[in-house]
Amino acid sequence: MIQVSAFLPELWLVGTAIVLLLLDLIRGKQQSKDLLYWIAGLGTLGALISLACLNGCCAASACPASGPAQAFAGFLKTDPVALFFKGVILLATLITLVMTFRYFKSHGTYYQAEFLAILLFSASGASALTSAQEIVTLYISLETLTISSYLLASFMKKDKGSNEAGMKYLLLGAFSSALLLLGFSYLYGLTGTTVIVDLAKSLGIQTLSPMLALAVILVIGGLAFKISLAPFHMWTPDVYEGAPTPVTAFLSVVSKTAGFAAFVRLFWVGLSAQAVLPVWVGLFAVLAAMSIILGNLEALAQHNIKRLMGYSSIAQAGYISTGFLAGGQLGLTAVLFYVFVYLFANLGVFLAIVIVSSKTGSDEIADYAGMWKRSPLIGIVLLVGLLSLAGVPPFAGFSGKWYLFGAAVHMGYTWLALVGMVFSVVSLYYYLQVVRQALVADAKDSSPIEMNLLEKAVLLVCVIFTVTLGFWPTPIMNVAQAAATALF
């Protein structure tokens, strides 16, 4: 029996995307596109609400079948971990829509319906990925996400940067997908199954063979590209800089969250056998340290804020990997919690970037001078968001890092925690450069920056979440822990 509820959020997203395309076809050319944004927003909201229903269903065991909803022979299963990741992805999509509206007001394009539809397709891929219990399903979801992302990155046809971003992303992305597929095929050959739970069973009775090690390395290489872990991070700064800013924001949160969801499912469920565990955990520790070091060091020299955020996101992926490789309940709780707070901090900053650049037409950090005068709210968002990314209390990034590095120390990776903390201080230097421009420097041009009510509300929500979760992370932490417990 197929339980539709197992892919209800994806149905909402895909359905809305199709409605958008059709509606745009029917409506005349001259009509305003604003309606489309409302529909896209409502569709995403519908997906979020369906998620809440699913969550209630899991909690109250009111489901017809016992346990989480599943479909397609259990290939899709919305367990608590999947629900948590889906929540993050859908919230990020909603905020991206707000950004998109603003972005296309200043960088007008005729193809807004197509953009929105592709965005929703992409989100549906990410969403499906989190509940995939089987590697082919996982791969297909991942490609739905990535191929849509190639299109989104190169969406500004007349902009050279956007074209370059799309092309670079496509070539490197296709290469990494090939690596991943190769790794999957080896895994299938070694175990004779594509179901992740059965992988674990089959690998449990195997010893480490060169082929197995190769398969694991290929899978890590393929997936690490998606979350831009060093040394698979080369594409990140260029794509982040060139792509339309809402797409950059979308990639930095949704693509990463989905990538970590795939990692958690595949490695902590499928490859947790004693034979392979030390191989990939050790490898991950090296990748995490490299990302933290390279990402933070390279960010120091940036003067374009989108590029800076690109390098920053590489370092952030390194921090999250620290908790991921520690694993266990504490590690996974830390990963889930951090992804959640990263969402608000990062997207708050990106929304501010979109708003500022729609007014000034520039993404240079120097042009943020005197933001405290032009728009105090944006100044506060930059302060709170960036310092949360740096992990400074009382912002949410701090409690997140406390958990991530706590999990690492717990598993004996004290050196990695030290690397993470020391380079968090390095990161503070470049985050503070932006804060300095925004709050300390005097304005060259002090004309105020206006924004609409929705944008103000979203920025405020980001600030409130980021501040509150810093000293009172309890509610989200409890949800994250419940989800983590369900997996282990």
Partner 1 sequence: MFPVQVLATIMVPFAAAFGFFHSPTAGPNLLPILTCFILIPNLAAFLIMASPEKWARWISLFSASLELGVAFRVFTLYQTTAAGFQLVEQVPWLNNFGIQYLLGVDGMSTLMVFLVACVYFAGSLISWSISMRVKEYFVLFSLLVGGVAGAYTSLDLFFFFLFYEFAVLPMYLLVGIWGSGRKEYAAMKLTLMLLAGSAFMLVGFLAMYFTSNVHTFDIRVLGDLSQTGFNTDFQNFWFPLLFLGFGVIAAVFPFHTWSPDGYGSAPTAASMLHAGVLKSLGGYSIIRVALPALPLGARHWLPLLVFLTIVNILYAAIVALKQKDFKYVIAYSSVSHCGAILFGICTLQVAGLNGAVIQTLSHGIVAAMTFALVGTVYGKAHTRELAKLGGLGAAMPVLGGLFVAAAMANVGLPGLSGFVGEFLIFLGSYRSGFHGGFDVFQVLFPTAILAIVLTAIYYLRLVQIVFYGPVKDPHIKEEAKDGTFIEILPIAFLLAVSLAVGLYPKPFVDLSNAAIAPLIDHIGGFK
Binding interface with partner 1 (CB under 8 A)? 329-330, 333, 372, 387, 392-394, 398, 402-403, 405-406, 409-410, 414, 417-418, 421-422, 424-425, 428-429, 432, 436, 439-440, 470-474, 477, 481
The C-alpha angle 363, 365, 370, rounded to 5 degrees, equals: 110
Tracing tokens 């409302």 back to the chain, one arrives at 38
Q: Which residues are bridge partners to 223 per DSSP?
A: none
Contact predicate 302/430, CB 8 Å? yes
Helices 256-263 and 112-131 meet at what angle, rounded to 10? 20
Q: Could you tell me the smallest distance in angstroms from the CB atom of residue 78 to partner 1?
A: 23
| CB closer to partner 1, 142 vs 332 | 332
| CB closer to partner 1, 70 vs 316 | 316
Q: Could you tell me the smallest distance in angstroms from the CB atom of residue 441 to partner 1?
A: 9
Q: Could you tell me the smallest distance in angstroms from the CB atom of residue 57 to partner 1?
A: 25
Helices 277-299 and 210-226 meet at what angle, rounded to 10? 30
Give the up-direction half-sphere exposure of residue 160: CA atoms within 13 A in the CB hemisphere. 0
Q: Closest Cα partner for 227 from 154, 308, 126, 302? A: 126
Q: Could you tell me the smallest distance in angstroms from the CB atom of residue 452 to partner 1?
A: 23
Give the single-character DSSP code of 440: I
Instruction: Output the CA torsion 267→272→275→276 (10° steps).
Output: 10
Q: Could you tell me the smallest distance in angstroms from the CB atom of residue 326 to partner 1?
A: 11
| CB closer to partner 1, 253 vs 387 | 387
| CB closer to partner 1, 202 vs 329 | 329
The residues, any chain, with a CB within 8 Å of residue 101's CB and separated by 6 or more, are 34, 37
Q: Could you tell me the smallest distance in angstroms from the CB atom of residue 145 to partner 1?
A: 31
| CB closer to partner 1, 15 vs 394 | 394
| CB closer to partner 1, 117 vs 383 | 383
The residues, any chain, with a CB within 8 Å of residue 14's CB and separated by 6 or more, are 120, 121, 124
Q: Could you tell me the smallest distance in angstroms from the CB atom of residue 264 to partner 1?
A: 18
| CB closer to partner 1, 304 vs 329 | 329
